[in-house]
Structure 1
Amino acid sequence: MTTENSARLIYVMGPSGAGKDSLLGFARERIGASVMFSHRYITRAVSEGENHIALSNEEFATRLANGLFSLHWDSLGLRYGIGVEIDTWLARGMSVVVNGSRQHAGTAHARYPHARFVHIDASPAVLAARLARRGREDARQIEARLARRPALALPSAAQCITIDNSGLLADAGHQLLEAIGHAAR
């Protein structure tokens, strides 16, 4: 899906609580319009700090049936989609950052073989504290979410970097900017 002008998909992923949305916001504020940041369509109400559009299950199914998602997946009872606008942006030579899923990174790589993958992670203690502060789930749900650590399975040809976001947001944010900058060149 990339063009000869080096437009690239930058696929950001990681466990809940790793700070993906915060890092994406940090990067977006500093990059400006030189890179496109997609939003996700999710069958969940919008929470503070998230860049997504809330859809009902029926709305999601209608969009999926009409081919309006470039990527989509189900996780923990929710449905997630990335709109087809990313294909237009890539075709016009713009690099695009998406907030994806670790379990579906292989599908993204198959569709966008020149994508760069950025895995955001944090220590288990930091993940637990952030999930508790977020307040979306009770203690049992948080424990189940933390126990769910799927293996990151990407083909060997995939370009993937890992950023530890256990410390200061600015430290990990500058690493993400570097990853996006290299991918956008």
Structure 2
Amino acid sequence: MKNGRLIYVVGPSGCGKDSVINYARARCPGKEAIFAHRYITRPITLGSENHIYLHPDEFKARLDRNLFALQWDSHGFRYGIGAEIDLWMDAGFPVIMNGSRAYLSEASSRYPNIVPILVTVETEILRQRLLARGRESGEEIESRLQRANAFGVEHPSLQTIDNSGELVEAGESLLKLVRGKLTRVRHGDQNKISFSH
């Protein structure tokens, strides 16, 4: 089998990125792709991402021994993707991961065939989703929305999935990309994903 590719999914907090990934994961047999878990120094809480918690000292020990393929810091926590993804891609599997917008350039340097996917959502819908989560004050949500709009993502192969509608639409778009059955249509400076029948 030829080497697999890294599908690097990013998006602002509240855009439904985890939901889109989980939708695809539940419908994608293991022989088609592998979904990488993240190692994070943030303890697991009910309803949060299904990640592997590492104490900061554990994280550093693994980092010192080059056991992460990718790693970054964000909001006071450390995030890592295990070096096992290289074995999976060498075996020919596409690997889907939950990434960081700020770390895309470094990830692209390590994996030139990377396929970055930006999950977007209309601002008002994002506002309502953040309010429904109940984790932040109104002021904090508005600040988060400003950051989301100000943070641009650029890459020659960037694809965009709009998650403003039903989850099934965005989830199926990601599934079709994993399976190589998407038509990429140019819209301005970005590639928009559409279904191929």
Structure 1 position 55, deviation (Å)? 2.0
Shift, 1:6, TM fit: 4.3
Relative distance call for 1:58 and 1:138 in structure 2 (3 A) is farther
User: 2:2–2:90: 8 Å Cα contact kept in structure 1?
Assistant: no
- Which protein has greater RCO, CA pairs closer than 8 Å, 6+ apart? 1
**2:72: which partner in 1?**
73
2-structure distance, mates of 1:67, 1:8 = 21
8 Å Cα contact 1:37-1:96 kept in structure 2: yes
Q: Where does residue 122 of structure 1 map in the other structure?
A: 121
- Note the 1:122-141 alignment, pairs <5 A: 122-141=121-140
Q: Which amino acid aligns with 1:81?
A: G
Query: CA 1:139–1:43 in 2, change beyond 3 Å: closer, same or farther?
Result: farther
Give the CA RMSD over aligned residues. 1.8
CA gap of 1:13–1:88, structure 2 versus 1, over 3 A, is same
State how many pairs are aligned. 177
Corresponding residue SS for 2:158: strand
**Cα distance in structure 2, aligned partners of 1:91 and 1:24:** 22
The Cα shift of 1:99 comes to: 0.5
* Richer in helix (by share): 1
Rounded to whole Å, the distance in 2 between the matches of 1:133 and 1:53 is 26
Pairs within 5 Å for 1:11-160: 11-33=8-30, 34-47=32-45, 48=47, 50-149=49-148, 150-154=151-155, 156=156, 159-160=157-158
Range moving further from structure 2, 26-35 or 144-153: 144-153
* Residue segments in structure 2 that go unaligned for 5+ positions in a row: 182-197
Residue 118 of structure 1 contacts residue 179 of structure 1 at CA under 8 Å; is this kept in 2? no
Q: Secondary structure at the match of 1:32?
A: coil
State the alpha-carbon separation in 2 of the partners of residues 101 and 8 from structure 1. Answer: 17
TM-score by length of 1: 0.87
Contact 2:37 2:97 in 1 (8 A): yes
Q: List runs of 5+ in structure 1 lacking aligned partners.
A: none
State the alpha-carbon separation in 2 of the partners of residues 119 and 75 from structure 1. 18
**Would you say the 8 A contact 2:40–2:78 is kept in 1?**
yes
